[in-house]
Amino acid sequence: MSSSSLGPQQRAGDLDRMADETLDIVVIGAGVTGAGTALDAASRGLTVGLLEQRDYASGTSSRSSKLIHGGLRYLEQMNFGLVREALRERQLIFDRLAPHLVRPVSFLYPLQHRVWERAYVGAGIAMYDGLAALARNSLPTHRHLSRRGALKLAPALARDGLVGAIRYWDAQVDDARHTLGLARTAAHYGAAMASSSRVIGLLRDGDRVTGVQVLDLESGRRFDVRARQVINATGVWTDEIQDMAGRGTIKVRASKGIHLVVPRDRLHSESGLILRTERSVLFVIPWGKHWIIGTTDTDWELDLAHPAASRTDIDYLLSQVNTVLDQPLTREDVEGIFAGLRPLLFGESDATSKLTREHAVSQTVPGLISVAGGKYTTYRVMAEDAVDAAVRNLGGHIQPSCTTDIPLIGADGFKPAWNRRRKTATESGLTTSQTENLLRRHGTNITEVLEMLKERPELSSTLPGSEDYLAVEVAYAARHEGALHLDDVLTRRTRLSIESWDRGLAATRQVADLMGTELGWDESAIAGEIAHYEARVAAERESQEQPDDRTADAARLGAPDVRRMGRG
Ligand SMILES: Cc1cc2nc3c(=O)[nH]c(=O)nc-3n(C[C@H](O)[C@H](O)[C@H](O)COP(=O)(O)OP(=O)(O)OC[C@H]3O[C@@H](n4cnc5c(N)ncnc54)[C@H](O)[C@@H]3O)c2cc1C
């Protein structure tokens, strides 16, 4: 077994290894699909490389609604197969693969029509739970509530028109940390991997793809990676890689979804909410000391790396959620906003919410497999299908996928570690709640975090502007979690960029100093990182004042990606 640690030395070593060896498989894109694919392939005993142009999970996989779910609304579209498969994956992830990162979450469906609505929605939710039962569901099952029961659970609901509710259960995850966990687990099984490594071309032998050309965005170095099979797992960038091959067998369309983050105390409820909207559904999801409200579903043809939320998107979400709230939310209640792009397989329908969420795996040209579509929840199935397709071309006897039996790094032994959390707190000098937060983010890797804390006890302080994140987690992110830039820590290792009113600005100096110590930044590198982050926050704020996608996109692009700055 290799180390699961992703740090600067590992990155340099893995880049050299990828440049020197001919791999069985190279995977492009470290979202949940690519990281899952690397894990699937490495755990079958194949030699694997994973290349990500920006940070792990920096695309859609850090910007989802963070639900590990079957998707209640796909039942209405009669997509029983997809729901059943996703519910099976939900149970697997919750129970075995990532119990440290996934937790149950309940939703209340408020009812406004006495008879037919309760019967119709109730039947759908009962079927949802029925399909989950087939997958040995261990989450609680749904319950019908009277008007009084609904208001007791969610006093924030408007009294007018409310006749009752149905409460059901799903699961949620920190998507960015989960994808990172997959990447680290793949590294543990021997996969070489590097972020800030953009694929800029394909190597060819006649018609056949034999590898990729890579640009290291940190050093500016260009090099080739040879592989017997290349897997394109680039989400909404799928067509760009297919274009390099001169042929596309899968067509992916980007659909934008935005979310608002509001403080927990602005909406009094013990359960999340699910509401039906004209085009889709809207969730109000508990998220630590916050609520996440989303999402929208609109075509997006502008910048893929930095989708922007416009004023219209924000006002739309507020107007929708306010239809069921007693005290309306306003823009002043919104502390954070994020936008992501669904990689939807191109379909016949014009309304993006009706495009299929199912995935496709296809051989674009010999040597190049593309995998796209699907949902976060079904990443493991997508990964297995993609590697199966590659394996068919590799020949020889290669084992079938075994990822149903591979807990992520930090998952093994989580339950006993959780049970002894009070002792761990006493021994480490942290509070129980701080220890619980660490366990929820790092699982049993908490031991590595606590070892760092022993070396540098001063890192037990919380970061400015945050009650939840400890300074030691920043050092840990740079040493073990592949964080290369300030933005990586403020946006994906922690969620300060959406969970604090100042979007993490108060923490920039301390986080940059801590990262600088680990990564060897000098004062000008630290200043550059801070300036970039400040520019990003300013550009995002400006984009969120714009009336439409085009103006919001132009404003957001006012701040360049930190990886375009290239320090090396
Ligand atoms: C608003 C929204 C809400 C959602 N909510 C849910 C939910 O609650 N539950 C659920 O199950 N699903 C949800 N989804 C769907 C889910 O998030 C996506 O299906 C999933 O994250 C896609 O992952 P991916 O790995 O395919 O793509 P991505 O995460 O986008 O990964 C692709 C990666 O490829 C990299 N890349 C691109 N080009 C190159 C290149 N040339 N070289 C190197 N790297 C490259 C990108 O930088 C990126 O990191 C949601 C999606 C959206 C947009």
Q: What is the pLDDT of residues 247-280, one digit of tens each?
A: 888 999 999 999 999 999 999 999 999 999 887 8
Probe residue for ligand 1, chosen from 33, 54, 64 as the CB with the greatest number of ligand atoms within 8 Å: 64
Probe residue for ligand 1, chosen from 195, 238, 376 as the CB with the greatest number of ligand atoms within 8 Å: 376
Q: Ligand 1: distance of its center to the CA of 31 in Å?
A: 5
Atom of ligand 1 nearest to the CA of 198: 42
pLDDT of residue 274: 97
Instruction: Report the CATH architecture of 103-171+253-349.
Output: 2-Layer Sandwich (3.30)
Fold classification of 8-61+177-251+356-405 is: FAD/NAD(P)-binding domain (3.50.50)
Instruction: Express each pLDDT in 167-186 by its tens digit.
Output: 999 999 999 999 999 999 99
Superfamily of domain 456-563: Alpha-glycerophosphate oxidase, cap domain (1.10.8.870)
Nearest Cα neighbor of 178 from 342, 33, 338, 371 is 33
567 vs 15: which has the higher pLDDT: 15
**Nearest-angstrom CA–CA distance, 132 and 83:** 9
Domain positions in the chain are: 8-61+177-251+356-405, 103-171+253-349, 456-563
Atom of ligand 1 nearest to the CA of 36: 25
Atom of ligand 1 nearest to the CA of 296: 1
Instruction: Express each pLDDT in 40-81 by its tens digit.
Output: 999 999 999 999 999 999 999 999 999 999 988 888 888 888
Q: Ligand 1: distance of its center to the CA of 341 in Å?
A: 7
Q: What residues line ligand 1, using a CB cutoff of 6 Å?
A: 28-34, 51-54, 58-61, 63-67, 69, 198-199, 233-237, 257, 295, 340-343, 374-377
Instruction: Express each pLDDT in 373-412 by its tens digit.
Output: 999 999 999 999 999 999 999 988 999 999 999 999 999 9
pLDDT of residue 348: 42
Residue of minimum CA distance from atom 1 in ligand 1: 257
Please give the share of the chain, as a percent, with pLDDT higher than 70.
Answer: 97
The values of phi and psi at residue 307, to 5°, are -60, 140
**Nearest-angstrom CA–CA distance, 220 and 512:** 22
**Nearest-angstrom CA–CA distance, 250 and 452:** 46
Q: What is the token pair recorded at 527?
A: 């200043």
**Nearest-angstrom CA–CA distance, 382 and 361:** 8
> Does the pLDDT at position 568 exceed 80?
no
pLDDT of residue 73: 84
> Does the pLDDT at position 352 exceed 80?
no
Q: Ligand 1: distance of its center to the CA of 309 in Å?
A: 17
Nearest Cα neighbor of 388 from 364, 371, 365 is 371
Largest CA distance in the chain: 70
Residue of minimum CA distance from atom 10 in ligand 1: 376
